[in-house]
Amino acid sequence: MKRVETTCGYCGCGCGIYVNVADDDTILGISPSYNHVVSKGKLCSKGWHGFAFVRDSRRLTSPLIRQDDGTFREASWDEALDKVAEGFKNAMTDGDNTDRIGVISSARCTNEENFLMAKMARAGLRTSSIDHCARL
Amino acid sequence: MNDISDAELIMVIGSNTTEQHPLASTRIFEALDKGAELYVVDPRKIRLTDFAHGYAPIEPGTNLPMINAMIHVIIEEDLIDEEFIKNRTENYEEMKESVKDCTPEWAESISKVPADTIRQFARKYATTDKAMILFTMGVTQQTTAVKSIRALANLAMITGHVGRPSTGINPLRGQNNVQGAGDMGALPDFLPGYQRPEWPETKEHYSKVWGDFSCLRGNNIIQMFNLIDEGIMKAAYIVGENPVLSDPDQTHTMHCLEKVPFLVVQDIFLTETAEYADVVLPAASFLERDGTYTNTDRRVQMIHKVIEPVGNSWPDWKIMVEIMKRIGMDVDYEGPSDIMDEINIAAELYGGISHDRIQEVGLQWPCPDKDHPGTPILHVGEFKRGKGLFTVNDFEYIGDQRSEEYPFILTTGRVTHQYHTGTMTRKVWTLALEYPEGFVEIHTKDAEELGIKDHQPVRITSARGSIVAPAMITNRINEKTLFVPFHFAESPANRLTGQNLDPIINIPALKVSAVRIEVE
Amino acid sequence: METNRLYKINNDSLDQVLNIWNEDSSVYVPVGKGRDIQLMPLGQGQRTEDYINLTLPVKEMVFEQKEGLFKWTRNGEDMDVEGLAHQHSKNRILFGVRACDTYGIAYTDRFYLGEFPDPNYKSRRDETIIIGVNCLRAGEHCFCTSVGTGVFSTVGHDLAFTPFDSYYLVEVGTPKGQDLIDKAESYFTVTDESILEKKNDLMARVEESFPLKMDLTNLWDDMAKTFNADFWLDEANACIGCTGCTNVCPTCTCFNVVEENTDENHGQRVRYWDSCQIDHFTRNAEHHNPRDAISRVRYRIYDKLKYIEERFGYKGCSGCGRCTDVCPTYISIIDIIGEIQKAAKENPEPPAIHQITKIRHEIMDREIRSQNGLFSPDVATITRVKQETPEIKRLFMKYDDPELHKNYEHKGQFFQVTVFGEGEVPLSIPYGPEMTDELVFDFKNVGSVTEKLFQMKEGDKVGLRGPYGRAFPYESLKGRNLVFIGSGVAMAPLRTVIEPVMVNHEDFKDVYVMASALRYEKLLYKEEMIEWDKVPNLTVKYALKDPTDKVDAYSGYVNDLLPDLDLDWSETTALLCASPERIKKLARDLMDLGMKPTNILVTLETHMRCGAGKCGHCKVGSHYMCVDGPVFTYEEMMALPNEY
């Protein structure tokens, strides 16, 4: 078994948790972290239980592309990413694209990912229209 | 967080702390154990009120009059901190003039909080040394958001409750990394590190780090949807966000998502928003990748990968890097740690924060260099702009009001066992069992008048739309006020909310919608 | 081999011995820094001796936070069920377990392995060896000495180490422990009983050093006198349902079962740790929750300090204090004990009858005949479907495995019926002992599982576990008058007695069956009742709200009919099946007519999940509705707190 120390992914408290994993990679459950400066060994119900969705059968496991009849079909990463790039390039002009392309990043994404989004939006897609859910 | 435990007085405005930030409420309980006093301002008798020394059952949308009235009382009763005002602030006289007529009686007529309660809160706050204010969306999701926060800043400054331990006005950030997302410039009006696009230094600095880039004040999410509606915005890329359930005026949101010519949605489940996408990209959850989150304490903490990404999903950063390459950017990151190295250079606030340094304990920004230990308290000694600026924040109400057609005010919020649009928590067995469906809280008296019984399905209608939800009859809410949590797709609170916005920052007034309710 | 020998081992030798043991089994040792000490496999981190206690109790190793119960696969017409009891089993030696946790393991052993032994727990427990290491200092919230489960381990350990300056005293608890010593015997030196005096001295000094010393001698009396004390509201107001307290408790054993489906043809039923501190734990189908916030918070304390010991005869709380450590709103069992004692002194109330009545059920050794184990259903195929009323259907079914019908014993009150992929519901057995070839269930469409059952046809597969529950004591009814009172679908559990009574009617005196419902159409067994009425000493009476011309029915409550029954009530037994409020009203009327509460039999049904007295959802006070009930005498029912 292994116990991986990480930070809870729910509210802004950012409590410390250990995720207990069995040898066959099943996630067993959570141990709280007494050492953690914020949570000091305590957790709320989301901290204790909120991990259990990760292997739900409804997880998206493949990129999807919308077909002409309106339904989705599975696609490879290459195909999907190429289509994304193509779609963005079609929307871009040679100048500034602030009103043409919008990017909504996520407060569930890490700092590194949000930084990449800001860079992609401004330096790659050349749009200043980037936002996230802070207002919500 | 430790500051909360050491406070002598905690004023909680618009924050259902035990439900939204349970571990922050732990600190409130610690303070209470040590003899602190708790004052709560909320339209509902939230759990904290059972432990409070004072409770103001405020009418939704009317924080500002109450805050201004508190300032008025403090000035009138000479409870101000003259030293602080003299040495560390500017513009006091103009602000003082602006609250001349903001008597508690005037505030009572608008906010329904008894004038004596306002006086009690004001006096207690002013005369307690370590007094702090905690607030969240109850203050900010209003048309008076910016003014209210500035008024809170006024309140803190006239009593010298800034820049010392256990004081200040402290927003409790709702999401695990909403603080970090803002820090990292996922905002239209800031670049990473809160650098304004209009400042010449910003353009100069980022040109070195990023090369050519769009340096304007961009459109925010509300404006983006409006541009889509007008046919001007042609493409959108939405990551880890479910606007169909979380944005105001659901009908409008859905219409825009349908209309936008090219939509890419990246998420871990096929959300209500992803259903509209042209391309859906499967992302990895917080247990499946490494990275950092910044909590409400400004503490940057590691998340560690526990299991491999499920199925063929990829970590978000990897997806982003691949897209960046394909649109012609010259990027090469092997992992999140590399990206943090670039953040160190780009954003001074995070200058000294690296994965190595935060393996055991996170660091609080500002942390400008590799030896800096992080900063527990902000604004010690001096504000960023030098002296604190008092502002004039006159109350003029814009937004929904009760009317004959819509005699109730709806306020929205959360419950502790569910999270936001429920994408994750409604799939966790125990959290879903605890709240299998949405509900609407209604006062006993109102329910009786309308012939509504507990658990009975009722229809709630606003000018924007209509939903059905089971009624939950309670005495713990103001009369003629309703509460609906926004987690539940089958009774989406945001179908009822509208685009009444704060004019300065465009935050939607999700906490105030005029509605009517009837048996379904 | 003699057990209970005493040994010494030098501190320096310990690591070598652990390595030797690690050759054949997985040795787990305490690892971590500060206060985060957890058991990790040897080699994954530095073993530490500097700790008060482990974060999670040792139960996490034998009763996992999440574990699979069974897997099901639909292959065309067939349904395959595979028990998952041996998942994650492996030989383990857990070193460094404190006395509160060894007590916890002794407790969970008796709980899970007695009375319907739990195969999942057993498969792991058999392969786990517990080595206790006794404490030399107390933590902030430790009170094992006040409860009597510590400070040094007395039960649950295979070996117990007591640290002295340069060596450990090692006491052997079980033959498994002795085997371990033998494996590394060169490092252990036998020592004699004189060391026990040293050990007791040390123990006395450690106990003396405990900051918390509580006198719990009169605790049960105090608890009986403060059931409705004011301070419970404050505690209930604080609880945010985080479930931390029950997660970290060494003696908490409750769980819930969840269907986790891969797709429509494959799935698993898993169990997760569950908690009585969360609202849905006792919530019934139609929004009814017998426990409110105060009951819930109070229940945990009463269970740990009183109910468990009342029912099982051994302590329910090991005094480890972890629940107090992890509560985000500072609910503390230690403080609560203080409040109870204070309120008992200052403001006692007359003790509630359910707190002082000593009714204890026999703990029996029960087993279940099944192919795959206690928690894995046996597959049955539906043979016939009959619509009884618009909302009630009857399903006839046969086990796929004919062996299960051979020597089928009719005992128990209900079965747990599984709809694969959807869930499981308890359904009463509405037939008599003569039906061994086919099983029958009558049920109402009230939830997601019964909805699926409602749509089933001949040939569909379901899963069955059971029979469970204490049935009506048929033999004791002989020679007496009988009055059956059932409303609507509640007639089903009564039919299991009515059938044999009808067949052997000479064994009984006068028998009345009182059927009540809102309308005639809502009655169950309408045709059968007409047949029953034809039996010489059996009369069927109807009490309906809406009149009908189908039968001669009284318009009103069935209670009104009782005084007119020409019966010697002292020679009568009444069998009631209705909602708890109705039962109470009926019982009161019957007692007014001269009946003794021991002759009034009721069925109490609550939210049930496992049916075998393990998951805890059906517990009312100290008793399990599924194992001690669902049939009770009214006297026993009055001894339960009003939480059903």
Angle at B310 between CA B306 and CA B312, to 5 degrees: 135
Q: Do A131 and B224 touch (CB under 8 A)?
A: yes
Q: In Å, how far is C268's CA from the nearest CA of chain A?
A: 12
- Asked whether the predicted pLDDT for residue C2 surpasses 60, the reply is no
Q: Residues B42, B18: contact at Cβ < 8 Å?
A: no
Q: Residues C18, C34: contact at Cβ < 8 Å?
A: no
> What pLDDT does residue C639 have?
86
Q: List B residues 34-73 in contact with C (Cβ-Cβ < 8 A).
A: 47, 50-51
Q: In Å, how far is A71's CA from the nearest CA of chain B?
A: 9
Q: In Å, how far is C81's CA from the nearest CA of chain B?
A: 23
Residue of C nearest to B28 (CA): C329
> What pLDDT does residue C592 have?
92
Q: Do A135 and B141 touch (CB under 8 A)?
A: yes
Q: Touching check for C548 and chain A: CB below 8 Å? A: no
> What pLDDT does residue C89 have?
73
Q: What is the DSSP string of C251-277?
A: T---EEEEEEEEETTEEEEEEEE--TT
Nearest-by-Cβ selection for A81 from B302, B316, B322: B322
Q: Is B156 helix (H, G, I), strand (E, B) or coil?
A: helix
Q: Do B18 and C329 touch (CB under 8 A)?
A: yes
Chain C environment of B22 (Cβ under 8 Å): 240, 242, 328-329
Q: Do B219 and A129 touch (CB under 8 A)?
A: yes
> What pLDDT does residue C485 have?
94
Q: In Å, how far is B48's CA from the nearest CA of chain C?
A: 8
Selected for mutation to probe chain C from B431, B433, B453 (highest C CB count within 10 Å) is B433
Residues 6+ apart with CB under 8 A from C57: C100, C101, C104, C248, C249, C250, C320, C322
Nearest-by-Cβ selection for C56 from A31, A49, A57: A31
Nearest-by-Cβ selection for C237 from B25, B33, B50: B50
Residue C630 DSSP class: B
Q: Do A44 and B23 touch (CB under 8 A)?
A: yes
- Asked whether the predicted pLDDT for residue C1 surpasses 50, the reply is no
> What pLDDT does residue C619 have?
92
Q: Do A111 and B294 touch (CB under 8 A)?
A: yes
Q: Taking the model in full, what pTM does it have? A: 0.93
Q: In Å, how far is A94's CA from the nearest CA of chain B?
A: 12
Residue of A nearest to B286 (CA): A9
Chain A environment of C88 (Cβ under 8 Å): 22-24, 26
Model confidence band, residue C94 (pLDDT cutoffs 50, 70, 90): very high
Distance CA A73, CA A61 (A): 12
Nearest-by-Cβ selection for B429 from C237, C272, C329: C272
Residue of C nearest to B360 (CA): C33
The token pair that represents C338 in the structure block: 């203080």
Number of Cβ pairs closer than 8 Å across A and B?
Answer: 439
- Asked whether the predicted pLDDT for residue A18 surpasses 80, the reply is yes
Model confidence band, residue C643 (pLDDT cutoffs 50, 70, 90): confident
Q: Do C261 and A57 touch (CB under 8 A)?
A: yes
Q: What are phi and psi of A27, to 5 degrees?
A: -85, 120
> Strand locations in C285-413, DSSP E?
378-387, 392-399
> What pLDDT does residue C585 have?
92
Nearest-by-Cβ selection for A44 from B186, B239, B416: B416
Distance CA C241, CA C236 (A): 10
Q: Do A42 and C60 touch (CB under 8 A)?
A: no
What rounded mean pLDDT belongs to chain C?
91
Q: Touching check for B430 and chain C: CB below 8 Å? A: yes
Q: What are phi and psi of C333, to 5 degrees?
A: -65, -30
Residue of C nearest to A36 (CA): C36
Chain B environment of A105 (Cβ under 8 Å): 181, 186, 239-241
Q: Do B25 and C280 touch (CB under 8 A)?
A: no
Distance CA B283, CA C636 (A): 56
> What pLDDT does residue C545 have?
87
Average pLDDT over every residue of C300-321: 93
Q: Do A34 and C263 touch (CB under 8 A)?
A: no
Number of Cβ pairs closer than 8 Å across B and C?
Answer: 47
Q: Which residues of C317-356 are buried (b: 16+ CB within 10 A; e: fewer)?
A: bbbbbbbbbbbbbebbbbebbebbbebbeeeeeebeebbe
- Asked whether the predicted pLDDT for residue C197 surpasses 60, the reply is yes
Residue of A nearest to B303 (CA): A6
- Asked whether the predicted pLDDT for residue C311 surpasses 90, the reply is no
- Give C9-49 pLDDT, tens digit per residue: 999 999 999 999 999 999 999 999 999 999 999 999 999 99
H-helix or E-strand spanning residue B513 = strand B513-519
Number of Cβ pairs closer than 8 Å across A and C?
Answer: 85
The token pair that represents C635 in the structure block: 């006297």
Q: Do B434 and C278 touch (CB under 8 A)?
A: yes
Q: Do B181 and A122 touch (CB under 8 A)?
A: no
Q: Do B174 and A15 touch (CB under 8 A)?
A: no
Per-position pLDDT tens, chain B of length 520: 888 999 999 999 999 999 999 999 999 999 999 999 999 999 999 999 999 999 999 999 899 999 999 999 999 999 999 999 998 899 999 999 999 999 999 999 999 999 999 999 999 999 999 999 999 888 888 888 889 999 999 999 999 998 888 998 988 888 889 899 999 999 999 999 999 999 999 999 999 999 999 999 999 999 999 999 999 999 999 999 999 998 888 999 999 999 999 999 999 999 999 999 999 999 999 999 999 999 998 999 999 999 999 999 999 999 999 999 999 999 999 999 999 999 999 999 999 999 999 998 999 999 999 999 998 877 777 777 778 889 988 888 888 889 999 999 999 989 889 988 888 999 999 999 999 999 999 999 999 999 999 999 999 999 999 999 999 999 999 999 999 999 999 999 999 998 888 888 778 888 899 999 999 8
Q: At what angle do helices C14-24 and C175-183 cross, to 10 degrees?
A: 110
Average pLDDT over every residue of C375-387: 93
Nearest-by-Cβ selection for A35 from C33, C60, C272: C33
The alpha helices in B80-144, defined as continuous H runs, are 82-88, 92-98, 104-111, 115-127, 137-140
Q: Do B336 and A110 touch (CB under 8 A)?
A: yes
Nearest-by-Cβ selection for B175 from A6, A11, A124: A11
The token pair that represents B225 in the structure block: 């949807």
Q: In Å, how far is A11's CA from the nearest CA of chain B?
A: 4
> What pLDDT does residue C361 have?
64
Whats the size of chain A, residue-wise? 136
> What pLDDT does residue C363 have?
66
Distance CA B220, CA B239 (A): 15
> What pLDDT does residue C471 have?
85
Average pLDDT over every residue of C87-111: 92
> What pLDDT does residue C391 have?
80
Q: Which is higher by pLDDT, B21 or C629? A: B21
Q: List B residues 370-429 in contact with C (Cβ-Cβ < 8 A).
A: 416-417, 429
Residue of B nearest to C288 (CA): B455
Average pLDDT over every residue of C177-203: 94
- Asked whether the predicted pLDDT for residue C369 surpasses 70, the reply is no
Model confidence band, residue C171 (pLDDT cutoffs 50, 70, 90): very high
Q: Which is higher by pLDDT, C628 or B516? A: B516
Chain B environment of A91 (Cβ under 8 Å): 234-235, 261-262
Q: Do A120 and B302 touch (CB under 8 A)?
A: no
Residues 6+ apart with CB under 8 A from B309: B284, B288, B289, B315
User: Which CA distances in Å does C388 have to A90, C453, C553?
Assistant: 65, 14, 19
Q: Do A123 and B213 touch (CB under 8 A)?
A: yes
Selected for mutation to probe chain B from A23, A34, A59 (highest B CB count within 10 Å) is A59
